Each structure stands twice: as structure tokens, then as C-alpha cells.
Amino acid sequence: MRLPKQITQHGQTRVDDYFWLRGGDPAAIRAYLDAENAYTEAMLKPAEALRSRLYEEILGRVEQNDASAPVPLRGYLYYSRTLDGKAYPLYCRRKGSMDAPEEILLDLNELAKDEKYLRLGNFRVSPDQRMLAYSLDVSGEEIYVTRVKDLETGALLPDRLENTYYGLEWTNDGRNLIYVTLDEAKRPYQAWLHRLGEAAQSGRLLYEEPDERFHLTLHKSRSKRFLFLDLDSAGTSEVWYAEAAGAGLEPRLFAARRHNIEYDIAHQGDNFLVRTTEGGRNFRVLTAPISDPLPENWKEKIAHREDVLVESVDAFERHLVITERENGLRRLRIENLDGDTHFVQMPETVYTLSPGENPEYETSTLRFHYTSLVTPMTAYDYHMDTRERTLVKQEPVRGGYNPSLYETVRVFAPSPDGVKVPVSMVYRKDLRRDDGNPTLLYGYGSYGISIDPAFSSSRLSLLDRGYIYAIAHIRGGEDLGKRWHDDGKLLKKWNTFDDFIAAAEFLIAAKYASPRKLAITGGSAGGMLMGVVINRKPELFRAVIAKVPFVDVLNTATDPSLPLTVIEYDEWGNSNQRDFWEYIRSYSPYDNVSRQAYPNMLVTAGLNDPRVSYWEPAKWVAKLRALKTDHNLLLLKTNMDAGHGGASGRYERIRETALDYAFLLTVVGGA
């Protein structure tokens, strides 16, 4: 039965008319979602030819027989490659050079033959490179099974570790695995040591995190000497460390957690490198002697700066690579053991930069990745002593892509409190700047995640049809430092939404866009953003694509049994406290749907999504159907075989993009 549910909290009672989509009969729920999928297909039937054309167009830009840039590790070169007609990559290696015979370590196509969904979680070769430990998820729930393969014989070992998560390492003797498991709320909370050949039940528990606000990850130092257990909530962290030699490892506390102090550590020589917010929200860097790493022995290496965020510290034998962010852009700071420092120069003014895979410690070569809204993803090897760079690989774009036809700029939109919000844009140079341009504006703005401007060959299908693509770098991310995040969370969350609306209004006022041709998109917490802004100012937008949107915020925030609820109290607030409850209620999209006109909408969900449960978008769409006063399209598309990230195979992902673009071109238009 489709019964509503009454929810009383802080003396107020709400009625959730669509609670049955979470707690009702499973068969009825599946039938409902199937019916919504059928309705979506029926409404987009007139665009069927366009979807097919877009699919072929996007696929036509993809080099289907391709390989990633090879990564050196202990005398081997590791890489992945794709084959024409195959949905998943093959993971391979060659010994010594790329001219040597190829070894196929893992063929995901073979593993996916009997599965509707497949995702690789961990991939770790043993120190002697004879064994491969890897993990697979076949449902989209992000619950992995870890297996071990003998690379000499090709046989799977009997070892099978269930309920595992991201984070997997070998001890240095190659005889043991360290891995992470989940609790009932799907929170990573335990680290285990498993000896090869023994039953999983005989493993040794290394650490268990009892505090539901913290999640556990693990990794080894680049030097391979230490194992680090990282415990994090939204604003507080703690690290345990151990010598990673063998089965006898015993984690030790590095520095006890203190509320709202974040830190992490790396290893170089005789010291740990400590990146911490103690003494400044944008992090400073200190050294701690391994022989006695108590806080009183820490020495400052890089002071805190109000205008520069230290994002990470990568330690090599003779160099440090510090990834910093200033004015919304990343830069790489290289320092050698003598203290000489320089920055890697970049060719464009608006770009994305990140360290690549750099598993080797004793090297002076840094792999980094570079891209922009007009430059395909490019891998470079940078020689940290000579400052020379070598192009290793650039993502190929078939069909004669010419970057000189496109322009990328960054503008600043004034938010209501006077803050200037960066907006990155790309469009064809022959585009006329008037209010008739179709525009797609993207936003996220949560968890301190910065959204950097990167290339997409799929996006060319919009740009070549006259679209402007824009990214609003709104508060809630860390695009402009930790304060940018602080000013977009908890009781300042409305700044996130105001910033996005300000970006949209700026594009309209500057005649880049108009309400009749402005579309917006965001996923997960960015989907929540979509829900808030269309409740607040629906007249600004022609269309919305909300991907797996986190929209039932108040109900989720009051249910600690759901994944991530307790962990994220420091991001959204604890709704058991009345001030947070009332504040969340003020913006929760599901709770603020009203009787008004809404834009055309395409909403997606994943039936097995562990991060945003399928019922959130489903309930939201149901309530919108009941209350909206317009005749615009409202479509719900649920992937019945996947989770938060959508389809796992590359061809199905392209089909999802073609669906999104066909929807846009149908309701917004384009050349």
C-alpha cells in the first residue's frame, strides 16, 4: 500500500507522502521505476534518431584501440588498453621497455561476461611482482570482493576477501595483504591483515574505528617503508602508522585527533612530512623525526599562507612535490634536498593540473597530467633537476579536432554578499555573444571538492551546436582555499546556492545566455544544488539535468542507519540539534517543492546506489509531478543495474551522455 508516513522531530510533524518508495513493497517499487523508465523512453521517442546520431558522433571521437601512458615500477611498465568493440580495459605490463612481450594481467571484459555491471576497485601488484591483488564490484553498491592472481601461472589463489572497500596494500615481504572492511552502514571502519593461503576468518584485526563520524582508508608511503591508516571526518583527522615489513606490523598513533584539525603525513628519509591545518586553515607543512615524532619535535617547513592552499605533499627520495592552489588554479612546487624551489610552468591561464601515478621513490622524474577546457588530457614526464618535460601521451580525439577553434575564459560573478565567484567557460570562437546562445552551466559546491576545468571530447557535440559550457566555482568547494569550503557548509550552506544563482544571473546579464536557453546540471550533492535553485528561482532556467541527486536531505540527515549520514554531520550539520534541523529544512529540495512552474527536467538514479539511495530522486520526481503547474518535461531514468557512478562499460556511458544531450537539444535547442 502507498501509505504516507508522519515524521515528528523538534516538536514539528511532517507528512512524507512518498515514503513508500523507500519502505514499500519491493515488487511495487520496481514496477514503479520500470514505468518511469518506460515513460522517459516514450517522451524521448521523437529524439531517438538524434540520440543515435549523438552516440555515433561521440563514439567517433574515441580512439577505441588505445593505451594509457605506461607507468614504470621496479623494471616493468604498467598500462591499460582498450580494444574496438570491448567495453572494459585490459590491464597489462611489459618488462624493461614497451618493445618487450606484453603480459595481460587482468581482462575486465572476460570478468564482465556474465555481469550487468563491473567496476575495478583496487589493483596492487606484490613487491616481487609475482602476484596481483585486485577487487571487483558487480552491483554498483561499492562493496568489493578481493581476489589474488598468480601472475606466473595465471591461476587464482583460493584467497577470497568479502565486504572489502577501497584501500589495499601488500606487506613488503609479499606474504600478507592489508585491507579495509565495511560496517552495516557501509562505512569503512576496520583494517585487517590477511596471510596468503589462510582462511579470511583467521585474519588479524589491525584497527577498528568506533566513532561513526570517521571513515578509514589506508595506503603505503611511496618509500614503501610505512603503512598509514587514515581516519577522517568532514573536518577532523588522525593517522596511525606502522613499519610495513611483514605480518608483525603494529599500528601506532601519530597524533591524537582534535576537533576541526586536519592532518596527513608522508615519509622522506629520516622524517615524516606533516600537512596540517593547525596554525592555519590552508595547511602548513612541518617535519617530524621518525625517531621521535612527537608534536613538540615538529619543525615548520612551509608556513601557512592566507591566499595559498597546500593540497598535497608528494615525497620522493631527493625531491618534494607540493601541490598548491592559488586564485583557483593548481600549481606544482618542486623542492630538492638543498631547499632549492621552483614551479612548473603552464602554457594556459585556465587549466587543470594534477600529479599522475608516481609509484617509484628513487626517481627524479615526475609524471603529471595537464588539461584545460580546450586541451585534451596530456601526460608529461617532468625532470625535476633539469626542469625539462617530455610529452608521454595526449588523449587522441578522432575526427580532426582543432583546439584553435575554441576559446576558454574565466569571469567573476558577484554573489549577494559581494564575493566574486569564478566561472570558467568554453565556446567556439565564432560564437556571437548575445542572449540567444544555448548554455549549460555546471555546479557542485560541497565537501571541499574543487571542480577544475577539464577537456571532454563528448562536449564538442554541444559546443559545435553553438553551446556555451560553463563551470561555477561556488563556495562549498575548495577552489579558493579552505575558507571557500568553510563558507559553503553547515550554517553557511546557503552561500553555495546563492553563488550558483549569481553565476546564472551574471551569464544572463552579460548576454552569454538567457533564461529561455539556459540549462543547468549537477550530480549527487550537485544534484541537491539543482533542486535548491529551481525551488528558489525556477524562472532562470529552461532545463535541468540532475544526476543521482541528493535531494531528500532532511530525511536522510535524520536517519543514522543510512550510509554517510553520521560521517557527514560536519558537512551538513547534525539534525538532532534544532538549529541545524531548521537550517537543513530551509533548503532541502524535497521538502521545499511548491506549487509553481518548473523547468524541463531529466533526473537519474541508480537502483544500487549506496551514496544517494534511489528513492531520493524517485520521491522528488513524484512530488514534483503532484505539485508543478507547468507542462514541461519531467523525466526519471533509473539504471536498474548500477549505482552512484552510472553504467560501468564505456559504451553504456556514452549512451547515457547521448541521452542527456538529446534531452538538452530537444528542450533547449541548438544549431
Residues 392 and 416 in one domain: no
The CA-based angle 231-235-238, given to 5 degrees, is 25
Note whether residue 153 is domain-resident. Answer: no
Q: Write down the catalytic residue from 524, 575, 588, 648.
A: 524
Residues 418 and 382 both lie in one domain:
no
Please determine, for residue 1, whether its predicted confidence score (pLDDT) is greater than 70: no
Q: Total domain count for the chain?
A: 2
Shared domain check, 498 and 608: yes
Quick check: is 235 in a domain? no
Say which residue, 331 or 671, is predicted with more confidence: 331
Res. 24 pLDDT band, cuts 50 70 90:
confident
What's the whole-number mean pLDDT along residues 384-403?
97
* Set 369, 486, 644, 648: catalytic member: 644
User: What are 130-189's pLDDT values in tens digits?
Assistant: 999 999 999 999 999 999 999 999 999 999 999 999 999 999 999 999 999 999 999 999
User: Is the pLDDT assigned to residue 419 strictly greater than 90?
Assistant: yes
The domain in which residue 362 lies consists of 296-396
What share of the chain has pLDDT > 70, as a percent? Answer: 100
Is 250 part of a structural domain of the chain?
A: no
Q: Of these residues, 570, 609, 613, 660, which one is catalytic?
A: 609
Distance CA 112, CA 91 (A): 14
Looking at the fold, whether 557 and 460 belong to one and the same domain comes out as: yes
Residue where one domain finishes, among candidates 348, 375, 396: 396
CATH number at residue 604: 3.40.50.1820
424 given a catalytic annotation: no
Active site residue 524: yes
Is residue 291 part of the annotated active site? The answer reads no
**Is the pLDDT score of 312 beyond 80?**
yes
Q: How far apart are CA 311 and CA 288, in angstroms?
A: 19
**628 in the same domain as 549:** yes
Residue 671 has pLDDT above 70, yes or no: no
- What is the bridge-based pairing of β-strands 518-523 and 439-442? parallel
Kindly write down the DSSP assignment for every residue of 487-544, as one continuous string.
TTSGGGTHHHHHHHHHHHHHHHHTTS--GGGEEEEEETHHHHHHHHHHHH-GGG-SEE
The pTM of this model reads: 0.96
Q: Are 134 and 149 in contact, with CB atoms under 8 Å apart?
A: yes
**What average pLDDT is seen over the chain?**
96
Determine the Cα–Cα distance for residues 358 and 315; give it in Å rounded to an integer.
10
The 10s digit of each residue's pLDDT in 57-107 is 999 999 999 999 999 999 999 999 999 999 999 999 999 999 999 999 999
Whether residue 503 lies inside any domain: the answer is yes
Query: Which of residues 373, 396, 419 is at a domain's end?
Result: 396
Q: Are residues 486 and 621 in the same domain?
A: yes
Quick one: pLDDT band at residue 423, thresholds 50, 70, 90? very high
Residue 35 pLDDT greater than 80, yes or no: yes
At 561 the pLDDT is: 81
Same-domain status, 337 and 440: no
Domain identity same for 371 and 462: no
Q: Verify that 458 and 589 share a domain, yes or no.
A: yes
Tell whether 442 is covered by a domain: yes
pLDDT (tens digit, 9 = 90+) per residue, 610-664? 999 999 999 999 999 999 999 999 999 999 999 999 999 999 999 999 999 999 9
Same structural domain for residues 495 and 379?
no
- Block residue for cell numbers 547534525: 574
| Claim to verify: residue 362 and residue 429 sit in the same structural domain | no
**How wide is the angle at C-alpha 103 spanned by C-alphas 100 and 108, nearest 5°?**
145
Whether residue 356 is found in the same domain as residue 437: no
Model confidence over 513-562: pLDDT tens digits? 999 999 999 999 999 999 999 999 999 999 999 999 999 999 999 888 87
